[in-house]
Amino acid sequence: MGYALESSDTEAGPFLRRVAAEQLDKGLADLEAARRGETRAGVHSVRKRMKKLRGLVRLVRGAFGDYGRINATLRDTARVLSDVRDRAAVLEALDRLLDRQTAAGIDGRRIAPLVRGLEAERDRAEEARDLGDRLAVVASGLTALREEAPDWTLEAAGWDAFEGGLTQTYARARKSMESAREDPQTDTLHDWRKRSKYHGYHARLLAPVWPRGMSGHAAEASRLSDILGDRHDLDVLEPRVAAADIHGDTLLALREVIAAERARLDGLAQVAGGRLLADRPKALARRWGRWYALRDQA
């Protein structure tokens, strides 16, 4: 079983409960790993579980009376650990940047103050005295959801349970893409990433309806999310570069590398987003609904 429709998922309600239970169980296991010392991997993984859970409940939001409460709980719970992941992500962004731009002639020794500063921030976040308490808060929140998940019910069945959430999420992804094109700032690009990522989760959840037709769509959504995620990390990295003890040609070269990589990612995002979000929302939902109706006839 996994994060997708199975042949045994004949109704939307049991499907929701099954996937939620699986993700919550895995999230609690991730937290236990973080408690044992695997902080970086455990925190990153549990935050991904909560995003996948939010994607799941968004898919059925039109038929799920508890959607607002559960979505808010997952959002607020994930924020408890956001600084731990964010500090690691910005260092990873620098590593990716230097790997891609080896021809820029940047001497690693000259950016050592930046690297040391980012490593220190990451280590402080992972070794914070209150981290154990925060992990316990997250565990409590996920445990409470796990206990209630078997009782979650939907007010619609079949495709009717999915159509509203799919259409609304996809429409918001398209709107956020247009906003990012008109004003490509950190906030608009980050919103585009979030909306597209949720649509990508919907494509993953529904891909078994017609794997040949939908798996590529899900893969492109994941690719767009990665591109926009890397772009966001550059925006977070840039002020850290300005604040570091780096000067002269090294600072100029690093800023030029960031600008070049930002432009490259922007171009890739526009192409990927144009492909992924080409349909009108109702047209996409109607087509996927027809595929859903035919899934047992293949």
Cα angle value 280/49/222 (rounded, 5°): 40
Q: What is the rounded CA–CA span in Å between residue 135 and residue 154?
A: 31
How far is the CA of 16 from the CAs of 20, 48, 105, in angstroms? 6, 18, 52
Residue 1 resides in a domain: no
Q: How many CB atoms lie within 10 A of CB 247?
A: 10
Q: What is the pLDDT of residues 190-225, one digit of tens each?
A: 999 999 999 999 999 999 999 998 999 999 999 999
Residue 127 resides in a domain: yes
Residue 5 resides in a domain: no
Residue 3 resides in a domain: no
Residue 168 resides in a domain: yes
The number of distinct structural domains making up the chain is 1
Q: What is the pLDDT of residues 13-22, one digit of tens each?
A: 999 999 999 9
Residue numbers of the domain that contains 291: 12-297
Q: How many CB atoms lie within 10 A of CB 257?
A: 20
Q: What is the CA radius of gyration of the chain?
A: 21
Residue 243 resides in a domain: yes
Q: How many CB atoms lie within 10 A of CB 134?
A: 16
Top pLDDT among 257 and 108 is at 257
Residue 32 resides in a domain: yes
Average pLDDT of 23-36?
A: 95
The CATH number of whichever domain residue 51 belongs to comes to: 1.40.20.10
Top pLDDT among 174 and 241 is at 174
Residue 143 resides in a domain: yes
- pTM of the predicted structure, to 2 decimals: 0.93
245 torsion bin: left (phi>0), alpha (psi -120 to 50), beta (else): beta
Tokens of 26: 């895995």
